[in-house]
Structure 1
Amino acid sequence: MAQVAIAGAGMGGLATAIRLAAAGHKVQIFEKNEQVGGKLNLLEKGGYRWDTGPSLITMPFVYEDLFRVAGRDFKDYVELVPVEPITRYFYPDGAIFDASDSLATMTAAIEKLSPPDVANYYKYMAYSRRLYDLTAEVFLFNGFNNLRDLRQMSLPNTFKIDPFRTVHQANTAFFKDKRLVQLFDRYATYNGSSPYRAPATLNVIPFVELGLGGWYVRGGLYKLAQAYLKLAQELGVEVRTGAKVEHILTCKGKVSGLRLERGEEIAAEVVISNTDVSYTNRHLLGQKREGWRKYTGIEPSCSGFVLFLGLKRQYKQLRHHNILFSRDYQNEFADIFERKVPPQDPTIYICWTGHTDPAHAPPGSSNLFVLVNAPYLSENFEWTPTASKTYRDLLIRRMQEGGLEGLETAIEVEQLITPHDLEQHYNATHGAIYGLSSNNRFSAFLRPPNRSSKLKGLYYAGGSTHPGGGVPLVTLSAKIVAKLVEQDLR
């Protein structure tokens, strides 16, 4: 049995703690914030409730496996509710499209929008499924921690995963209607990337959502973080919040524990960092590299600008998940990743959990979580209070133009989060939501590995390492880390 210390109680840290505690190890978690869950968190204000991060559940078998390892049934902790439609899309030309994981419903919607693309959709989903079959075992369920891991992807299969076209190039080749191209291009943003630069391999994501299905957690997604915490504590994990890790202690090329901000030292044979890998190396280990580019050579993912709006009215045209598309998608991503400034005509995501859970707002009211993709922090733009207020006003105007009439006057509770806030609150380098972008055809192979190559006993879990960002993937990172720890201890 090993003494394990985990820095960070995000979903990856909690999942790792569950797996190692279930294997008989003594595990402690130290979280600087007062609530666990990392970016999957909760805001309650003025009778309204919002999830502050992820808003859709995919790949439920990942969570079921985690709870099964601990001898529990996932369904005893969390109730998943299918979302239909998964997302409602609003286009600048007035068209409305409901995306569904029902093949019949999706076919009917495409028939109405662009009849020639019905057959193309069947071909596209077969293509997306093929990408999943080729990449899931290598990229999702295993990590690249040595050359043997890299050999899992044979040369012929490397070509089959479509790495040499961009997401946009592949989608343009499949669909005739530009609105459908824009819809499927959007999936590149699920890991903070640009569809005009990311490899078409990311077209695996539509199959994960539209082929395998999308769910909501009854009561809100923060219930999932609370379920992870409850299970970890049932297994004897000690979880300390308000306990900021200041330094990872080392001795002769091995980790020896953690030092907390107030000076307390925690001895451990195994240390797992569930915080941004770049932050870990610069701040917890004292290395001099600055930011993601110098650490990995890869561009950071995009950041986000978030509004939490409590409205004293409801909009009948909205569903649980909604997208108001921009008029010029390519220019939007040029703003984000080339000019590194907030787009003036952004695509706006609106999540209304009150559509499914009415208790999240007072009667007749609505709780809107509004997110737009924003550039990672750089010298090109500074999120001053004035700049943040100006951008907030732009988004309100844009939503009113998109059909949410009277939005400004309906607001009774409001809060915003900027990329700067994300960096400060979650130790996210450059405010990048997903750590690294995939704006590089080799980025999937270049993510920081789950095991440190320099310090024995140090491991990484979370969205900045393999296999990537998003709740199912950070949960899978825990599975990879737990396997590596067991191997190394043996």
Structure 2
Amino acid sequence: MTRQTAIVIGSGIGGIACAMRLQSLGFDTRIVEQLDAPGGRAYVRRAEGFVFDMGPTVLTVPHFIEELFSLERDAAMLGLPDFPAAMLTQDRILSGNSGGPNTSRYLDIVPVLPFYRIYFDDGTFFDYDADPVNVRAQIAQLAPEDLEGYERFHEAARAIFQRGFLELGYTYFGSLGSMLGVVPDLLKLGAVQPLFSLISKYFKSDKMRQVFSFEPLLIGGNPLKVPAIYAMIHFVEKTWGVHFAMGGTGALVSAMLRKFEELGGTLQLNAKVERIEVEKRGRKRVATGVTLASREMIAADVVVSNGDYATTYLKLIDKAHRKINRDAVVKFRKQSMSLMVIYFGYQMRDGDPDLRHHNIILGPRYEELLTDIFERKILAEDFSQYLHIPTITDPSLAPPGHHAAYTLIPVPNTLGDVDWDVVGDRFADTVMQFLEDRGYIPNLAERLVYRSFVTPKYFEEVLGSYAGNGFGVEPRLTQTAFFRPHNRSEDITGLYLVGQGTQPGGGTPSVMMSAKMTAREIARDYAIDPKVVNGVPA
């Protein structure tokens, strides 16, 4: 019997996860990647003995990773039961090893505490973690008027997490009806109002409003606009912790590819897709494979794009084949903000400030800065940043006596008027000088041994993100659930999408969920029972 074939465009974490699942379903699966190494946004930059993850660095929900490393070859198995009760525990946060038994055969994942150190512009800070005693003690010190409000917020976030994540996390909203059925519950929970509005009901101080609303920025969302269902991120982290793959996120990518190849899949690098081939069959339009920039044509029964949603439709598919995802529809969707990311290596010194693995450094403005970035699309004089220093956890990522770091600054996407060729170097200098002048890394200029950076142009020109977006389609109410791009193409049979631009959204756990959603839709379309396979519930 001839095996069915699948092509996955792009080797981001979502693309690899989907390819692993398709290979386990029985497809002969090939990933085609346009870059010279895998990872997509999780590409790794190596320079002068330093190793830099260029993209995602925060891992949550480690049992999603365990599911992938538990897949079996040709077992037609979509994974372990969703959210097994045994995983609803904080034991792994405190155990020192976050990986399950199958994950641990491929890589080491360790917990990071605190999850984030959040610095305010006045120099005070908040260590954000899952310890309820520690959290309440810090609120009592920084904003005692918000202690009672925190208790009420905690219960509201728990209810949203229970319904929005544990119960609906893997729900694919392929029809309007599938969404309308859950709207009453979400309205009752207050989960459709803007997150910042919800937070402001419980907290009076600006500091606590920032602490409990900043997280959507890590998935491309504006806290002023994302629906309050994103309050569940607080409980996702509280329940399963924040983790780090030793060797960096690139080590996770390498481990996933090793597992994928053990399952029988193949990866082709330097393979830029020029076009998704579509054939008209009666009234249907059917994806039949891809053509590469090298003119190689690869036939396939299934095509899955892990590329940017807008780029997939606007550049890879002829508009004659797009009745739903027309140019105007695709361009009408709001894109997430972009990023400037500065990668740097510097010498350690005795007496350095007590920075953490993940540091959030907030500027003097919050709501106004968010509006500048997302709505006005202007590069303001002030900025906030996420300073990542993984060598605090894994010294092997830098030469002895050095730290490898990156600092990530949310900036407007390229639909604004910022000329990064003109302002890029100057802005990078300003950010680095800020870290030195404010005492985060004293005398940084004289200790610096390596620096490079990427701007929104990198996301647009190298990663192929429409308008240089950093996180795909912006997560806001009108682009959530059914209103978000669909994992199964409405236009073309046999074409599917996976990753941050589709359901459920951005962030490492969400793209892994997206991979499972997409694999389930393919299983249904190709008559593979997605409920029980080999006696194992999926």
For residue 58 of structure 2, the aligned residue among 49, 56, 59 is 56
2:17 is matched with 15
1:414 to 451, 457, 481: 451
With structure 1 as the length reference, what TM-score do the two structures score?
0.95
Partner of 1:397: 433
Aligned partner of 1:233 in structure 2 is 261
What is the distance in 2 between the residues matched to 1:136 and 1:163? 12
Cα deviation 1:268-313 (Å, max 9, x = unaligned): 1111111011111111103399999741633111110000011123
Corresponding position of 1:208: 236
Query: Which of the residues 372, 379, 395 maps onto 1:335?
Result: 372
1:324 CA displacement: 1.3
Aligned to 2:353: 316
Residues 142 and 440 of structure 1: is their aligned pair in 2 closer, same or farther, counting only changes over 3 Å? closer
From 323, 330, 338, the equivalent of 1:303 is: 338
1:191 to partner: Cα distance: 2.1
- 1:325-474 aligned at under 5 Å gives the runs 325-384=362-421, 386-403=422-439, 404-441=441-478, 443-474=480-511
Go from structure 1 to structure 2 and tell me whether the alpha carbon gap of 1:140 and 1:50 turns closer, same or farther (over 3 Å shift).
same
- Whether contact under 8 Å (2:161, 2:232) holds in the other structure is yes
Alpha-carbon deviation of 1:148?
4.9
Q: Contact 1:30 / 1:243 at 8 angstroms: preserved in 2? A: yes
Change in CA separation of 1:293 and 1:389 when aligned onto 2, cut-off 3 Å: farther
Go from structure 1 to structure 2 and tell me whether the alpha carbon gap of 1:241 and 1:303 turns closer, same or farther (over 3 Å shift).
Answer: same
Pairing 1:162–2:197 present: no
TM-score, normalized by length of structure 2? 0.86
For structure 2, the 5+ residue unaligned runs are 74-100, 528-538
Aligned counterpart for 2:169 among listed residues 112, 118, 140: 140
Distance 1:374 1:138, change over 3 A: farther
**Aligned-pair CA distance for 1:218:** 1.6
Is the 2:471–2:501 Cα contact (8 Å) retained in structure 1?
yes
Distance 1:134 1:428 in 2: 32
User: SS where residue 480 of structure 1 aligns?
Assistant: helix
Which residue is 2:102 aligned to?
73
Cross-structure match for 1:46: 48
Question: Of residues 272, 287, 292 in structure 2, which corresponds to 1:255?
Answer: 287
1:82 to 111, 116, 119: 111
Moved more, 236-245 or 74-83: 74-83
Tell me if structure 1 keeps the 8 A contact 2:173–2:481.
no
User: Secondary structure of 1:282's partner?
Assistant: helix
Task: Specify which of 176, 187, 191 is matched with residue 219 of structure 2.
Answer: 191
Report the Cα distance in structure 1 between the residues aligned to 2:305 and 2:142, rounded to whole angstroms.
Answer: 47
Match of 2:194, as an amino acid?
T
User: How far apart are residue 162 of structure 1 and its match?
Assistant: 2.2
For residues 200-222 of structure 1, give each alpha carbon's deviation from its aligned partner in whole angstroms, at most 9, with x where no partner exists.
22211111123331111122121
Residues 1:162 and 1:70: Cα distance change in structure 2 (over 3 Å): farther
Contact kept in structure 2, 1:168 and 1:200, CA below 8 Å: yes
Which one-letter code corresponds to 2:150 in the other structure? Y
Conserved 8 A contact 2:31-2:266: yes
Q: Call closer, same or farther: CA 1:104–1:441 in 2, change over 3 Å.
A: farther
More deviation, 235-244/395-404: 395-404
Read off the aligned partner of 1:79 and give its amino acid letter.
D
Partners of 2:289 and 2:192 in 1: CA distance: 43
CA RMSD of aligned residues (A): 2.0
- Please say if residues 135 and 161 of structure 1, whose CA atoms lie closer than 8 Å, have aligned partners that are also in contact: no
Q: Is residue 77–residue 227 contact of structure 1 (8 Å, CA) maintained in 2?
A: yes
Cα distance, 1:434 vs. partner? 1.3
Q: SS of the residue aligned with 1:433?
A: coil
Report the residue type matching 1:300 in the other structure.
Q
Percent identity between the two aligned chains? 30
AA at the equivalent of 1:6 = V
C-alpha distance in 1 between matches for 2:480 and 2:30: 32
Q: 1:321 to 1:444 in 2, by over 3 A?
A: same
CA spacing shift, 1:90–1:424, aligned 2, 3 Å = same
Structure 1 residue 425 displacement after superposition: 1.6
Secondary structure in structure 1 of the residue aligned to 2:312 = helix
**For 2:37 and 2:246, how far apart are their aligned partners in 1?**
20
Question: 1:180 is matched with which residue?
Answer: 208
CA distance in 2, matches of 1:159, 1:44: 48
**Structure 1, gaps ≥5 residues long:** none
CA apart distance, 1:44: 1.2
1:272 aligns with 2:304: yes
* Aligned counterparts of 1:6 and 1:98: Cα–Cα separation in 2: 40
1:23 partner letter: L
Equivalent position of 1:37 in the other structure: 39
Relative to structure 1, the CA distance from residue 124 to residue 212 in structure 2 (aligned partners, 3 Å threshold; closer, same or farther) is farther
**CA positional deviation for 1:99:** 1.0
Task: Work out the CA distance in 1 between the residues paired with 2:467 and 2:354.
Answer: 36
Structure 2 CA distance for partners of 1:161 and 1:409, relative to 1, 3 Å: farther
Contact 2:319–2:327, Cα closer than 8 Å, also in 1: no
Pair 1:148–1:196, CA change in 2 (3 A): closer
The alignment partner of 1:366 has SS state of strand
Contact 2:310 2:466 in 1 (8 A): yes
1:286 aligns with 2:323: no
Alignment length (residue pairs): 488
SS of 1:116's partner is helix
- Measured against aligned partners, the alpha-carbon deviations of 1:183-240 in whole angstroms (never above 9, x if no partner) come to 1121121221221222222211111123331111122121111111001000110110
Partner deviation per Cα, 1:419-471 (whole Å, 9 max, x = no partner): 11111121111111111112445533311100011111000011111111111
Describe the SS at the equivalent of 2:452.
Answer: strand
